């Protein structure tokens, strides 16, 4: 079972005169990561080190600290908390006392860990992207079904009917398949678009 964060959270501490500030935020995709990192660029910091995990994809950055002393320990705290779809950034303002590699690992990993301890975690519900088609006269029934289930969808009117793209929780797929087959008398089927599984 994987979790993500309900909301962003921040933690600050001072270690040997260096100030460390950890910020953890939920993210859906790499665009979210880029937008957040661009928004928090701070030239006053000495280092802005980060790590993120989205599904099976992970990235981390030491931002000038010795290799393996910042990004990797931050990532380890994300994975140690069974989290995904999370980005943790740790800002450091250097205070004049060197921490050494072990000290840096403890400082970055520790700040990230304390930050995540304060966060409210929510279970991540896997969603999949699907598509299906139907005729105009069938769309009202299927549209009603999607709205009842609070499923996000987009409709596209074509010459022959309606093409629907939807994003729904895994457990909602089977009932919708059955409904679609009922309404279209077995003519149409749901197609699952595979690349949405890294959610």
Rounded Cα gap, residues 88 and 30, in angstroms: 13
CA–CA distance, 5 with 123 (Å, rounded to integer): 9
CATH number 3.20.20.70 is the correct assignment for the domain at 127-198? no
Residue 198 burial (CB count, 10 A): 13
* pTM as predicted: 0.69
Summarised one tens digit per residue, pLDDT across range 85-102 is: 999 999 999 999 999 999
pLDDT at 196 over 60: no
Say how many Å lie between the first and final Cα of the chain, rounded.
13
Classify domain 3-123 at the CATH class level.
Answer: alpha beta
Cα distance between residue 82 and residue 80, in whole Å: 6
pLDDT tens for 2-39 read: 899 999 999 999 999 999 999 999 998 999 999 999 99
Per-residue pLDDT tens over the stretch 174-192: 999 999 999 999 999 999 8
Q: Where are the domains of the chain?
A: 3-123, 127-198
Where does residue 69 rank: exposed (0-12), middle (13-18), buried (19+ CB within 10 A)? buried
55-87: per-residue pLDDT in tens? 889 999 999 999 999 999 999 999 999 999 999
């Amino acid at each position: 079972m994987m979790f993500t964060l309900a909301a962003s959270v921040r933690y600050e501490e001072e270690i040997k005169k260096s100030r460390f500030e950890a910020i953890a935020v939920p993210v859906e995709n790499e665009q979210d990561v880029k937008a957040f990192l661009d928004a928090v660029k701070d030239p006053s910091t000495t280092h802005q080190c980060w790590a993120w995990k989205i599904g099976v994809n992970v990235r981390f950055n030491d931002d000038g600290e010795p290799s393996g002393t910042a990004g990797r320990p931050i990532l380890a705290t994300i994975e140690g908390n069974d989290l995904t779809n999370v980005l943790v950034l740790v800002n450091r303002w250097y205070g004049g006392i060197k921490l050494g590699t072990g000290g840096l690992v403890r400082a970055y990993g520790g700040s990230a860990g304390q930050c995540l301890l304060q966060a409210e975690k929510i279970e991540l519900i896997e969603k999949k992207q699907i598509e299906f088609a139907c005729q105009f006269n069938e769309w009202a029934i299927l549209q009603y079904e999607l709205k009842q289930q609070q499923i996000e969808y987009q409709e596209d009117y074509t010459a022959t009917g309606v093409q629907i793209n939807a994003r729904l929780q895994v457990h909602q797929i089977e009932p919708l398949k059955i409904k679609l087959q009922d309404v279209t008398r077995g003519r149409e089927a749901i197609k699952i678009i595979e690349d949405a599984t890294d959610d």
